[in-house]
Chains A and B, each alone.
Chain A
Amino acid sequence: MSKNWPLWEIFVRSKNGLEHRHFGSLHASDAEMALENARDVYTRRSEGVSIWVVESSNITASNPEHNGELFEPAQDKVYRHPTFYDLPDEVKHM
């Protein structure tokens, strides 16, 4: 029969106070096994205190070919940054 184990993306929180970060991926038959394998593959040296696993097929990613229309509009909106505004040096605490 041979059905391949699906791919899972692994996110690890290195310590409390930090966000979960993408560490890599692995194959497992279900979420529980993905967690157990992620522990062995990605946290052998105390790299984490919490693990999330997400089946890769559930992730929707943006297409780099559309990066122009997605991200470029932000570049000409410099007024979103504090340095855009001219203030005299005498103004303090701002």
Chain B
Amino acid sequence: MSNEQIKNLEEIFEARIARDEKIEPKDWMPEKYRKTHIRQMSQHAHSEIVGMLPEGNWITRAPSLRRKAALLAKVQDEAGHGLYLYSACETLGVSRDELYEQLHSGKAKYSSIFNYPTVTWADMGAIGWLVDGAAIINQVPLCNTSFGPYARAMVRVCKEESFHQRQGFEIMLKLCNGSQEQKDMAQDALNRWWWPSLMMLGPTDAESIHTEQSMKWKLKRKSNDDLRQQFIDQTVPQAELLGLTIPDPDLKWNEEKGVYDFGEINWDEFWQVVKGHGPCNKKRMKDRVNAWENGEWVRDAAMAYADKKEARKLKEAI
């Protein structure tokens, strides 16, 4: 194809997106669109898969059967969300094995928040309330993104995700209505998860390199700073309801703007964790790679069994 022809196709393509038409896997698309989508969707899938690990830590120690069943269901949903997103990603011609390889080798990123430890039961509450809360704010606009398989996966993810946040808030509420120790535990969890949750919504608009292109492709409908403001504005009243204090001395209602002003985010910490120096980066990757490698014989045995059954069927047919 000549450069002229490609330019022409690109114009038609951009016009389709501007008209809110969906792009399907076999449609012509610019190489950059394909690559950006593989990057973002796989990052999203990896975050779901790694996101199971910090919570898996508490399944066997959940304080009651009710909490245990809910936590198990939530973690199972996350596995499911990872699978929806991996298969949406595979429609762009990348294999599941390649995607895993990118995660395991550290080439692909996942949400940096999962590199923080879950040291008390209250962390299950704080994660559901704050981390899933921030995730929902990020994900709801993606239900309308231009790439059909991604949008369809996100519709399902968002539908299922709202229970995650509610179960987290309920855990916090129960602790806050409990003994002083329980209330302290809830406050301590909020103290540790608040700032990482704000960072989770991504670098400031000035630092965000992909924003402009992603807005055009409807991979993003609001900027990181707008999403962060929305998260803060909706979460502060929820903290008040719990009787907890947000760990930010500069947090103040701005009457004039109708939003909360908040303190400086420690972006050095964010970039440290992204670059692999967070408290649990190594442990998360080790656990993930071990799970994959230790499961290899099971995957091979299943395949050998399938081949054997197929061969027997063929023999019987003769």
Identify the A interface with B (CB < 8 A).
Answer: 1-5, 7, 24-27, 29-30, 33, 40-41, 44-45, 61, 63-65
Contact = CB atoms under 8 A, between A and B. Distances in A.
A33 B302 CA distance: 9
B306 A7 contact: no
Interface residues of B, number: 28
Contact of B77 (A33, A44, A65): A44
A2 B300 contact: yes
B300 A65 contact: no
A4 B90 CA distance: 14
A7 B300 contact: no
Given A30-B310, A63-B26, 11 more contacts: A1-B300, A3-B300, A4-B95, A26-B87, A29-B299, A29-B305, A30-B309, A33-B302, A33-B306, A64-B27, A64-B28
Contacts, number: 54
Contacts of B302: 5, 29-30, 33
B80, B87, B299, B305 interface centre (most CB from chain A within 10 Å): B87
Contacts of A33: 302, 306
B24 interface: yes
11 contacts: A2-B299, A5-B302, A24-B153, A25-B87, A30-B309, A30-B310, A41-B80, A44-B76, A44-B160, A64-B26, A64-B27
A3 B303 contact: yes
B259 to A, nearest CB: 36
Contacts of A41: 80, 83-84
Contact of B303 (A26, A29, A61): A29
B268 interface: no
Contacts of B76: 40, 44
Contacts of B10: none
A40 B305 CA distance: 21
Nearest to A4: B97
Per CB-CB distance, the 3 closest pairs between chain A and chain B, nearest first, are A30-B306, A29-B302, A29-B306
